[in-house]
Structure 1
Amino acid sequence: MTKPIIAVLGAGLGGAIAAFEIKEAVRSRAEVTVVSQGDVFHFVPSNPWVAVGWRKREAIEVELPPVMARKKIGFTGVGARRVHPAENRIELNDGESLFYDYLVIATGPELAFDEIEGLGPEANTHSICHVAHAEKAGEAFEAFVRNPGPIVVGAVQGASCYGPAYEFAMILDTELRRRKVRDRTPMTFVTAEPYVGHLGLDGVGDTKGLLESEMRQRHIKFITSARVAKVAPGQMTVEEVAEDGSVKATHELPFAYSMMLPAFRGVPAVMGIEGLTNPRGFILADKHQRNPTFPNVFSLGVCVAIPPVGKTPVPVGVPKTGFMIESMVTAIAENLKEVLDGREPTHEATWNAICLADFGDGGVAFIAQPQIPPRNINWSAEGGWVHLAKIGFEKYFIGKVKRGESAPFYEKWALDLMGARKLKA
C-alpha cells in the first residue's frame, strides 16, 4: 500500500524544523518531502552580524541535502513555481510536479521592495532579510566606514518585523564606535510604528521605555508613524503621519548608508489562489493551522495571515517570532498524526513571543504570552547578557539543524536562560 505523502514547502526557520518534527511524529506512516528554494538553510537572525562583518556567511549556513537524507526525508532544492491545491500538486521550477496528500506551507515571505520607489538592495537601500542582502550590505558598510556620513535605518509602512531594525541600528552604533567614526555618522531611525518599541505588538513590558532610552543614549534620532514616500540616491523622503491620517511633516533625510526593512507579501507560488490566501498572499489558517478551503493544507510562520494588533496611523504588521513559529510546527505535527488516524485535528499553536534583540554590547529581551494583548505575561529586560544569549542561541539552533533534530528549540531554552520560568505561574 502506498504511503501518504506530506510535502513541506520551504526550508527556512519554520520549514526545516517542521520537516524534522513531522517526520518524528509520523515515523514510517507517511513519507515527508521538502521543497526548498535552494539547498542551503541559513540562520536569518544572524544577518545583522553578517552586515557588519561579525559573521561570515558560511558560519550561519547548513547544507540541507545530507541532513535530510540522514533523517530519511525527501528533498529537492529546485523550488516551487505554483501550488495547485485543488489538484494536490506542487508545480516545481524545473517543470516537474510533486503530488501530495498533505501540504505544509512554510515559504516565508516575498520582500515587497517594489512597493516604494527606490527601496531595496537593487536600488538605493540595503536589507538584512536575506543573507545575500546582508553580505551586500556588509560590503557597502566597509566602503561607508572609509567615507562616513549620515545613516537612515528602520522599517517601512506595512512591515511586520521590527526587532531586526532596532538590532541593526544599535549594532551599527556599536561597531562605528569601535572603529572611532561614530562622531561622523549622524543616525536617524525611521519606523511605521506609532511609537518606539511598539514592535507590531503594541509593546511588550517596557519596550517603549527601554528602546527610547537606548536611542537617546546612543544619539539616534527617530521618526515614528513614518511613511516612506520614495528613496532617491542618498536621500529619503519620509512623511510623518498624524493620528487622523494627515501628513504632519515631511522629512528629507540625506544618507550615505541606509538599511530599511520592507513590507512582506506572499510568494508568487501561492499569490492570488482563491480560498488559500488573503489579498496580500498570506495563507489563511484556522486555529489548527489548517486552511478552511483546502483542509489538507496547513501553514506556519511568516506566510500565515494574522490581522494587526489594532489600528495605527501607518500600517503596522504583526511579527511571527521564533517561538510562535515553533509552536505552529508542533501543532501541525500533532494534528497530522491525528489526521492520519482518521480523526479531526485538536492541537492549537501557542501564539507567544520570546525575543532576544542583540545590540552588539547589550540588548533587550521580552516575553509576551500571548503575543497579542491582553497578556498573562508581559515582560521585558535589558543587559549585556542578551548579547551573550543571542550568540549561544545561534550556536544552539544551527547545531540542531545540522543534526536534524526536532523541537523544542525556543521555549525551554529561552525561558530557562531568561530565568523566566517563574513567570509562567
Structure 2
Amino acid sequence: MVKPRVVIVGAGFAGFHAARRLSRVARGRAEVVVVNPTDYFLYVPLLPEVASGILEPRHVTVSLAEELPGVRLVLGEVDGLDLESKTVRYADPTGAPGELGYDRLVIAAGSVNKLLPIPGVAEYAHGFRGIPEAVFLRDHLTQQIELADATDDQAERDALCTFVVVGAGYTGTEVAAHGVLYTALLQKRHPRLSEQRMRWMLLDVADRVLPELDERLSRTADAVLRERGVDVRMGVSVEEAAESGVRLTDDSFVPTRSLIWCVGVRPDPVVDGLGLKTDKGRLVVDEYLQVPGHPEVFACGDAAAVPDLTRPGEVTPMTAQHAERQGKQAADNVAASFGTGELRPYKHHDLGFVVDLGGTQAAANPLHVPLAGLPAKAVTRGYHLLSMPGNRIRTATEWLYDAVLPRQTTQLGVIPAESVPLDTAAPEHITRGRRR
C-alpha cells in the first residue's frame, strides 16, 4: 500500500518542529518530506553572537538528517505551489527544476527581508537573516577597524568607525548591543585607535526601542544601549543611502561604510502566488491552521495569519515562540486528518520574551516577571539552551570559553559583500546566486 505523502515547505522554527512531531506521531503511516534550501535548521536568535565572534556558525545550526530520522529531505527552493494539482515546484541548488506531489501540505516557508522603496538601500545596506549575513557582518566590522587603523585621514577613519543599524526591533537591538561591544574589543587591539570614537547609531520610526515588546523590556534595553554610547534615535530613519554614507529623515548626513538593515520581515513571496486570501502578506488560515477551501493544506509560522484565540480579532505575531508551537500543532492536525488523534485549535499564551544585550546584560520577562542584568542574562541563556534542538553542550562550552579566554577577531573572508545583497529573498538563496 502506498503511504500518503506530507510535504513540508521550509525548515525554520515552524517547519522543523512540524517535521519532528510528524516523524513521531505519523511514523509508518505517512511519508514525510521537507523541502528546504539548506540541510540544517538555523537557531536564528543566536545570530548576533555569531556576528560578534562569540559563537561559531555551525553551532547555531542543527542537522536535519540527524534530528529528523525517517524524514526525507529535498534540497531546494520552492518557487511554486499548485493547490489544484497538489504539487510543489522547486529548484535544487544547481538550478535544476523539480516537482513533488502531496496528499497533505504544510506551508512553513517563513519570512524574508522587508524592503522599502528608499534610494540606495538595496545597493549599500546588508540584512541580517542568516549565517552568511552574520559571518559577513563579523568580517565587515573587523575589516572596518583594521582599515581605520591603516589610514591617517581622520574623516575617512571616522566614517569607517561609524555603524548605522536601522530597525530597533528584536534583531536590530541585539545587533547594536553586541556590535558596540565587539568594536570596543577590536579598538583595544589597535593602539593607534585608542582615542578614536566608535560611533554606533540605532534608528527606528517607532517611538521606542523594542516597540513590539513590554515597555519595561524597552526601557531596560534603551538604558543599556545609551550607557554603552549607542546613539539611539527614535522617530528617525534613512531617507537615502550612498557609498559615502546615509542621509536621514531629519536631513542630517552620516558618513559611514556600514548600513545594517533590520527593519523587519515579510512573508516568503511563495505565498503571493497562491491567489488566496492574505493578511499583510500572510496566508489566512483558520484556528486549526487549515487553509479555507483546502482542508489538505495547513500553514503556520511567519507565512500564516493564524487567529490569536487569546486576543479575539487579532492574529499571532511573527515570533519563534509561536512558530515552534504552531508547527507542532500543524503536525498533530495533519496526523488527525489521517485518523491519528483529533483536530485541535491553536491557542497559546505568550510566556514572555528574552533579549540578549551582550556582556552581562539582558532584558527578560519570563512569565511576565520583568528582569534585567545578570538574572535576566541567566534566564536568557537558559531559555536558549532549552529551546535549541541540538548543539547545547557546544554552545554552552563556547559561552564558557568567551568568559575566560580572549575572543578571536580574525577575518575569514569567505563571504564577499556581493553574496549577501539585501534584496535576496532568503539567506539560503545565496547558494544559487539568485535574487528576487
TM-score (norm 1): 0.76
Contact 1:154 1:166 in 2 (8 A): no
Cα separation, 1, equivalents of 2:264 and 2:382: 29
Q: 1:322–1:354: 8 Å Cα contact kept in structure 2? A: no
Going from structure 1 to structure 2, the CA distance change for 1:113 and 1:137 (only over 3 Å counts) comes to: farther
Q: 1:142 to 1:319 in 2, by over 3 A?
A: farther
| Superposition pairs of residues 174-189 of structure 1, within 5 angstroms | 174-179=181-186, 180=188, 184-189=197-202
Alignment pair present for 1:12 and 2:24 = no
CA contact (8 A) 1:151 1:187 kept: yes
Instruction: Please state how far the C-alpha of 1:227 moved relative to its aligned partner.
Output: 4.1
Match for residue 194 of structure 1 among 204, 207, 217: 207
In 2, Cα distance between equivalents of 1:65 and 1:388: 31
Residues 205 and 378, structure 1, Cα contact 8 Å, conserved in 2: no
Residue 303 of structure 1 deviates from its aligned partner by 1.7
The 5 Å alignment of 1:28-107 reads 28-68=28-68, 71-93=69-91, 94-107=96-109
RMSD of aligned alpha carbons: 3.0
Mark the CA change 1:335 to 1:401 in structure 2 (over 3 Å): closer, same or farther. farther
Query: What runs of 5+ residues in structure 1 fail to find an aligned partner?
Result: 157-161, 240-248, 309-316, 368-376, 403-425
CA distance in 2, matches of 1:47, 1:186: 22
- The Cα of 1:358 is off from its aligned counterpart by 1.1
> One-letter code of the match for 1:106?
A
Which AA in structure 2 matches 1:381? L
Q: Kindly state the Cα deviation for residue 297 of structure 1 after the two structures are TM-superposed.
A: 1.6
Question: What is aligned with 1:421?
Answer: none
Deviation at 1:294, TM superposition (A): 2.2
Query: Is 2:177 the partner of 1:170?
Result: yes
Corresponding position: 1:363 with 2:362? yes
Letter of the 1:321 partner, please give it: T
Q: Is the aligned partner of 1:26 residue 2:29? A: no
Quick one: distance in 2 between partners of 1:183 and 1:382? 30
For residues 11 and 319 of structure 1, do their structure 2 counterparts lie closer, same or farther at Cα, with a shift above 3 Å needed? same
| Alpha-carbon distance in 1 for matches of 2:34, 2:288 | 21
On the 8 A contact 1:8/1:105 being kept in 2, the answer is yes
CA offset digits 1:178-204 (Å, max 9, x no partner): 343696112221013232231x2xx31
Aligned to 1:220: 230
> Which runs of at least 4 in structure 1 moved beyond 4 Å after TM superposition?
388-399
Match of 1:313 in 2: none
What's the offset of the Cα at 1:29? 2.3
Number of aligned residues: 364
Q: Is the alpha carbon distance of 1:37 and 1:56 closer, same or farther for their aligned partners in structure 2, counting shifts above 3 Å?
A: same
Structure 2 CA distance for aligned equivalents of residues 19 and 329 of structure 1? 8
Whole-Å separation in 1 of the counterparts to 2:216 and 2:380: 20
Q: Shift of the alpha carbon at 1:56?
A: 2.2
The one-letter amino acid of 1:350's match is: H
Q: Write the distance in 2 (CA, Å) between the matches of 1:83 and 1:182.
A: 57
Shift of 1:142: 0.5
Range that drifts further, 250-259 or 131-140: 250-259
Q: Which has the higher contact order (CA 8 A, sep 6+)?
A: 2
